[in-house]
Structure 1
């Protein structure tokens, strides 16, 4: 039986055309769905829920940071970008951002916990990380740390060790300074300054603790400073009335 090749050829081209039209239709439909999902007007993020204890950061500051640039739709919003915007706020230590259907953004916030004021112009946390929170918000109750900017790790190490010993004995540090040659001085709450030098600092602190009451009884004046940079004994300066 003879085959009509013209009929076969038409069937082939019709099938191919149908396949092409189907693929084009799928592409156009997918593109339309994508544009709808990415459109802020069609699928908006219309609610922001903040969680976490905020002491130094207001809710308005967080919201302003989020909308400082393009946010996008529920599906189009980039969580890494939004997280970075919030964590750029000076008092925010970390932020976790999560979407919740149908249009909610939930943000879990952790604020910085300041340990001390660094060189009168910044703050430092317990991890030794310097951050740019407003000093005036905490300057009434935080100790001041001073030292070369590149030596923050050493200043923190000295502060934590010395502070632990002093607090165990009822003293509180008002300020601590470390020079470029790593000589340490400590100002105590109440006005006494301890000059500790570059070595045996904890032993010298203990020597002060052991002598403090006797020094106070030795003179009616208040102690201004105690120089402990001696192998034995101390030098005492008295505050003039």
Structure 2
């Protein structure tokens, strides 16, 4: 009885050893060196050839199965204008890279760019020809500034006004420029423009008198409890308009 049990145990150990050896052999057979990089993109500013040149040294000597895809993905995302990348294996020795390019929606602090998610990225050597607003503020508030711009622009667009610059000051005050012309000083504003009484005063004054004199306006100061101040071109003093 004991001999039978010993034989069974020996047989089980032998089967497990064969499975382990077979699995290791299979892994080694599958884990061939990476020989081909397939870069797929619809990008205009990210060169597939440049990406291949950047990626090739990173995978040199790596196996098709053992290559660290997460580390490789993190490295590729550092390439200028790469927003996102997914990497997959293609039998028997190919890695496929699907590249999503950054889509800029605004300038950030004059020299950098924002994408639609409010993420800051560098333009590199690329020449930017798109006309975009210039937003500025602390880097950690970039997404908030973009969100406020979108909400504010949706309100002003009803008056055929376009925000060309929007700034969040270090102490939380907002100011924006309209049509590359005059500035509007908002002060500390609510995050919802539709509920902002100072903006409502501006829109009312715009409809009543300011729209016809837009070329004469240097700035509008809305930081008053019941009115606004107007700075005119060629004048050192300001005019006041009451909302009463």
TM (norm. structure 1) is 0.72
Q: Which residue of 2 aligns with 1:80?
A: 70
The structure 2 residue matched to 1:64, chosen from 53, 73, 76, is: 53
* Aligned-pair Cα RMSD in Å: 3.4
Return 134-143 or 182-191, whichever deviates more: 134-143
> Conserved in 1, the CA contact under 8 Å of 2:172 and 2:188?
yes
> Conserved in 2, the CA contact under 8 Å of 1:208 and 1:228?
no
> Conserved in 2, the CA contact under 8 Å of 1:117 and 1:139?
no
CA distance in 1, matches of 2:136, 2:120: 13
Shift of 1:140: 5.3
Kindly provide the CA deviation profile for residues 110-150 of structure 1, in whole angstroms up to 9, marking residues without a partner as x: 22222212112322222222223338633751211122334
Aligned to 1:116, the other structure's residue is in SS state: strand
Shift of 1:28: 6.9
Q: Which has the larger radius of gyration?
A: 1
Unaligned runs of 5+ in 1: 1-7
Shift of 1:159: 1.5
CA distance in 2, matches of 1:21, 1:198: 76
Q: Which residue of 2 aligns with 1:3?
A: none
CA distance in 2, matches of 1:118, 1:83: 26
Aligned to 2:58, the other structure's residue is in SS state: coil
CA distance in 1, matches of 2:211, 2:15: 94
CA distance in 2, matches of 1:57, 1:25: 49
| 2:31 matches 1:38 | yes
The structure where strand makes up a greater share of residues is 2
CA distance in 1, matches of 2:211, 2:82: 44
Q: How does 1:69-108 map to 2 (within 5 A)?
A: 69-71=58-60, 72-108=62-98
Unaligned runs of 5+ in 2: 190-195, 236-244
Q: How does 1:12-161 map to 2 (within 5 A)?
A: 34-40=27-33, 44-51=34-41, 53-71=42-60, 72-134=62-124, 137-138=127-128, 141-161=131-151
CA distance in 1, matches of 2:27, 2:126: 49
The structure-2 alpha-carbon separation of the partners of 1:103 and 1:215, relative to structure 1 and needing over 3 Å to count, comes to: same
The structure-2 alpha-carbon separation of the partners of 1:232 and 1:153, relative to structure 1 and needing over 3 Å to count, comes to: same
Shift of 1:204: 4.2
CA distance in 2, matches of 1:139, 1:234: 36
Q: Which residue of 2 aligns with 1:203?
A: 200
Q: Which residue of 1 aligns with 2:166?
A: 176
Q: How does 1:193-232 map to 2 (within 5 A)?
A: 193-199=183-189, 200=196, 201-207=198-204, 209-210=206-207, 211-216=209-214, 222-230=216-224, 231-232=226-227
Q: Which residue of 1 aligns with 2:233?
A: 238
TM (norm. structure 2) is 0.71
